[in-house]
Amino acid sequence: MTSIRFPRSPRNAIARALLASTLAVLSPGAFAEYPEKPVKIVHAYPGAPLDAAVRFMADKLALAWKQPVLVDTRPGASEIIAGNTVAKAAPDGYTLFVGTEANFANNQYLFSKLPFDAERDLLPISELYEAPFCVIVPGDLPARTLREFVGLVQGKGADYMYASTGAGGPNHMAMESLRRSLDIDMQHVPYKVGPQLMQDLVTGRVSTLIAGVFTAAPYVESGRLRVLAVSGARRQKSLPATPTFAEAGYPEIDLRTFAGLAAPRGTPAAIVARIQKDVEVILKSDEFQQKVGEPFGYVPVASTPAAFAEFLKVKRQSAKAQIEALHLKLD
């Protein structure tokens, strides 16, 4: 091997120092010390199950990294505020984003102008988990099964309304998918405030909601709400009496959303790999399953950056087709 030798002179001493620093930056261990300061995870859902999942993950990452991992909630605007915060941050791994299909897939087709482009400006790290959806109806609705619900609503769309937490959001898109699959017609009522939505659902002012199992579980035992079917291969532990869509006679229906982790585009690959690896360990732990997965119905995924990027590519195509079919624009 030919070695590089420099004559001993002040100028060449500088050259040697520059070469050494360049090699250090390019070496595989250049980011081995990450993180060297607190990391921030930004999301849009304070107090929601997603918030609980992110805070669990943050606490475990803080232990693994020996650095504080802070959770910064920026609610509103269909995750645009939270996503923009991260998209405009330095691409150094110290500001991360957790969001749903609203940010990763839907918004670019719902809004004509956005302050950032999620596909261009955010770097996928991992799909964290899937959240199965269920069909929720008022406890006194005269339909105890999904088939009875279809029979009740079919041909009477003007008489029945379904709720969502906002036009273009995950549960709106899921209900539209269900409505088409079941060949029923219902009026959409978007809500800005969750408690008002649940009050109207319990009292029967709206006839159904597609949401996560955690939303319904507290109301089911008292009989104020009924869950007709839930996505997934098996029943949820928090709703053991609720059949899956397959058990209800509709095996082709699978309604769910997801949460994903991203960083500003340009974040070094070594840092992204470190984050993904440590997050995967947390999501696949028994403690995550006991404290987050089972209570909220979340199914851990922990995909690689490449797999998550490919998943988003497919998800964006389906979101584009669905939103265009609905002629839906929010600005």
CATH code: domain of residue 217:
3.40.190.10
Shared domain for 94 and 114, answered yes or no, is: yes
Provide the pairing of β-strand 161-164 with 299-300: unpaired
Q: Does residue 244 lie within any of the structural domains?
A: no
Say if residue 204's pLDDT is above 50. Answer: yes
Which residues lie below 8 Å from residue 4, measured CB to CB, with a gap of 6+?
19
Q: Does residue 245 lie within any of the structural domains?
A: no
**Length of the chain as a residue count:** 331
Shared domain for 218 and 281, answered yes or no, is: no
Domain of residue 316, residue span: 33-131+257-325
Shared domain for 316 and 262, answered yes or no, is: yes
Shared domain for 124 and 155, answered yes or no, is: no
- Model confidence over 141-186: pLDDT tens digits? 999 999 999 999 998 978 999 999 888 889 999 999 999 999 999 9
Q: Does residue 81 lie within any of the structural domains?
A: yes
Whole-number Å distance between alpha carbons of 99 and 169: 12
Count the Cβ atoms, other than its own, within 10 Å of residue 219. 18
- Of 230, 245, 277, the position where a domain reaches its end is 230
Shared domain for 152 and 117, answered yes or no, is: no
Q: Which pLDDT score is estimated for 251?
A: 96
Q: Which pLDDT score is estimated for 9?
A: 45
Shared domain for 166 and 87, answered yes or no, is: no
- Model confidence over 271-282: pLDDT tens digits? 999 999 999 999
Q: Which pLDDT score is estimated for 23?
A: 42
Region of poorest pLDDT, from 93-102, 152-161, 250-259, 263-272: 152-161
Mean pLDDT of the chain: 90
**Tally of structural domains, the chain:** 2
Q: Which pLDDT score is estimated for 305?
A: 98
In order, the DSSP letters of 164-218 are ESSTTSHHHHHHHHHHHHHT---EEEE-S-HHHHHHHHHTTSS-EEEEEHHHHHH
Shared domain for 65 and 48, answered yes or no, is: yes
Percentage of the chain surpassing pLDDT 70? 90
pTM score: 0.85
Cβ 88 vs Cβ 116: under 8 Å: yes
Q: Does residue 57 lie within any of the structural domains?
A: yes
User: What's 262's domain CATH number?
Assistant: 3.40.190.150
Q: Which pLDDT score is estimated for 32?
A: 58
Say if residue 5's pLDDT is above 80. Answer: no
Percentage of the chain surpassing pLDDT 90? 78
Q: Does residue 15 lie within any of the structural domains?
A: no
- Sequence-distant contacts of 32-37: CB under 8 A, at least 24 apart: 34/93, 34/270, 34/271, 34/274, 35/65, 35/67, 35/93, 35/94, 36/67, 37/67, 37/94
Higher pLDDT, 166 or 304: 304
Q: Does residue 4 lie within any of the structural domains?
A: no
Q: Which pLDDT score is estimated for 195?
A: 87
Shared domain for 177 and 123, answered yes or no, is: no
Q: Does residue 89 lie within any of the structural domains?
A: yes
Shared domain for 181 and 319, answered yes or no, is: no
Say if residue 224's pLDDT is above 70. Answer: yes
Shared domain for 156 and 179, answered yes or no, is: yes
Query: What one-letter code names the amino acid at 257?
Result: T
Shared domain for 281 and 197, answered yes or no, is: no
Which pLDDT band, with edges at 50, 70 and 90, does 53 fall under? very high
Q: Which pLDDT score is estimated for 76?
A: 86
Which pLDDT band, with edges at 50, 70 and 90, does 28 fall under? very low
Mean pLDDT over 205-222 rounds to 92
Q: Does residue 17 lie within any of the structural domains?
A: no
Determine the 3-state secondary structure of 102 from DSSP: helix
Say if residue 329's pLDDT is above 50. Answer: yes
Shared domain for 265 and 121, answered yes or no, is: yes
